[in-house]
Structure 1
Amino acid sequence: MFIKQKQNINMKATLISILILFVSQVYGRNYQTLLSNGKSWTMVQTNTSPVHDHDAIYTCTVDRDTVINGQACKVVMRCKDGNCDKVVMMEKEQKVFYHDPNIDSFLPILDFSLHQGDEIGEWGWVLTEDEIIVNGTPRKRLFIGDKNQIACVIKAIWVEGIGSNEDCWITLFDKHIGDYSYMSECGENGKVVFTQDDFCKSEERPYMPVLAEGRLWKLSYTYRDTWQDIPDTYMTIAVAGDSIVDGKKCKKLLVDYRNLTEVVYPQYIVAYETGGRVYRIDRDGEEHLVMNINLHHGDAVDIVQTVQKEDTVIVDGIKRKRLIIDSGVDHCDGEYLYYLVEGIGMSKDEFVNLGLTDENIYFHRLIACYDNGKCVFSAADFLKEGTSGLNMPKVNCPKNDQIYDLQGRKRGSIRKGEIFIRNGEKHINR
């Protein structure tokens, strides 16, 4: 009898174990490790002032295993221009830590065990969470907000097994005033598996490059003082083969002019595209960032211009990310608002306005974009009604009773009759 009861207990335990395993396989999934062997990251540190300074490119690579204070860790090599230093990282229970040798302690960097509404130290919280599928692999995604912000603004995006779009590897150690650092791409065993633009994708689809072979843009010749187009006069920019500049694979762009009264000869310029950004290289070898499709609503393009809106526009059945940019002033190209569309470019010229034409007389608007002679996008398409095709979820901010004045400054008390802001809403202290 005792043996039979024991057998029944063992059988029940076995069935429960099988059931738990089955449920975990059906309804759960394996955690995607960040610090896996062969993992690498390309980071860009861009100086916002002065704007002509070069971007600094860093690479971070998981190098080898090590043990610190009895904890299994990884050595990560961080390199720039051939100079490398090492940092020690640890990943445990879906959390990522940096080992600070000065205090011999592990400091938290990322935490993928968090959920919507959870706090992050003294500075932030998880605004919302979801799952993103990239290259067939589902990954947890966290949208991070700053407690000190008046409005509910997404400050960073964390993706399981990838990291943060706002670079925590560099800025943890090197915080420079005027610099902004971001992850350009993440690789595994030499293959790129994730780019900056993937952080905000709602569906798995390939990035559409601007500098595609066979691409041609037709632009107006417009008088700056009157904003009137010169009839039958236009400029074309065509992708015309490859070039190598300082080891970078670039595209040659042929700039040509039609029906212009003065004689202007066709000429080549050089540009390259990486991680959703397009750079032009001038005659002195200086690089200029001319387009960045990775920006989002509220982001600053420079010290004046900001992204006013982000959505998706559909033309001929093709979905393309679109940014509507507020120039902040009556901009030098004559347009208060302009547009940037994935795989197309800008509604105004950003390639040749760097000294190739007389900027005091003319500016240029995009008339049409062609692929191998076929028009795929026109000026009217910039204005089409868009859809919220990007998976930037609506965020329900956790309540924060902090009081701010109209200038965004924290206030401990408000005088009677004074207007103040709490939880993103204006109130009057009556």
Structure 2
Amino acid sequence: MISKWFKLQEHQTTVKTELIAGLTTFLTMVYIVIVNPGILGDAGVPFDAVFMATIIATVIGTLWMGLFANYPIAIAPGMGLNAYFAYSVVGGADNISYVVAFGTVFISGILFMILSLTPFRKKLIEAIPANLKHGITAGIGLFIAFIGLRLTGLVVSHPANLVGLGDLHSPTVILTLVGLAITLVLMALNVNGALFFGMLATGAIAYFTGQLEFSKGFIDAPPMPEAFIFGSPITALTDMIQYGLYAVVFSFLLVTIFDTTGTMIGVAEQAGLMKGNKMPRARQALLADSVATTAGSIFGTSPTSAYIESSSGVAAGGRTGLTSVVVALLFILAAFFSPLVQAISGLAAITAPTLIIVGSLMLGSLAKIDWNTLDEAFPAFLIILTMPLTSSIATGIALGFISYPLLKGVKGKWREVHPLVLLFAVLFFIQLAFLPH
């Protein structure tokens, strides 16, 4: 039954291989269960809500991917978007509550679902210039790495230069540097689950140095989730209109589409599952992410994305959705470790090395930008520069989209600007100039 459903023979794999691949992928990405509550907790979201929402969104999206798309690709709340949610949308100048912000995530999930069912999704992906896409990825990388540095005191406010080096004798800073070193060594040695094991090692050091306590134990029954944390779909829509959060919804939607599509194609190519330049069952695969984002917002987490860590499972031999099903089942098991996760996620020095390292990995997109062409390079540079400096993914995207057609127009290359890009540029200009942001 299992072999027939997942077409194991057709993909030249076995149940044992898929089980090992699923465990490998789980170990490389389970850090999100610890990191996500830590980040969204800074926005005031209760731990129990984020923890269970992270599990629920991951299980729903990954099961959908495995059962209906038959790909060895896992879905979970995306790094970068969780930081944007916590420190820009909620922690920004407009004093938006996390309840309202979850409503915008819900709307972006619904829109993503609609786009996944229509040809417009493909047109949107093709319309956005490649250099802007690479700039968005790199900008988010710098954004979350900077957050990791700031949360632990490695970087602090400076009266003259805005930021400066923190106190290197601080126990938190020392623990962060030790954790970063341990994790980098594990990654250099190609240890599967290096980020996760790095956090565990850092947590152990924190425990023996008195910085970490497990007052609630390690294992407990999963906390009961609260559905529709933002009220109702109608409330989400009216809040978006009242607070003018159109750019936030668009940013969530745009980044999720590009991140998910790029990751899915990359993992599918690695697994040899692409048919020419096309990805079979792409609609079902994209629906997995959009459904997970929508479900996650209902219970209390930021948008989901396909995880590049899935490539570790593919490297271990995973070729079908059975790998994803194994990952989902292991995340269900992780739901019983909420006291352990709550203790670890509450200490920034344990999770910050993961933010810094993931940020550095995302900067690989810099190599793909055409730096020799000003009208292509500068808009990408503007995105990369402004995302961390303004603590806003939306602002970075907006400035990139506005500057791109302007530079193309000056150089007489209007025909290279897709009408959708021009439309977004106008909308972003109106939003920055006349609406709250």
TM (norm. structure 2) is 0.20
Greater Rg by CA: 1
Q: Which has the higher strand share?
A: 1
Q: Which has the higher helix share?
A: 2
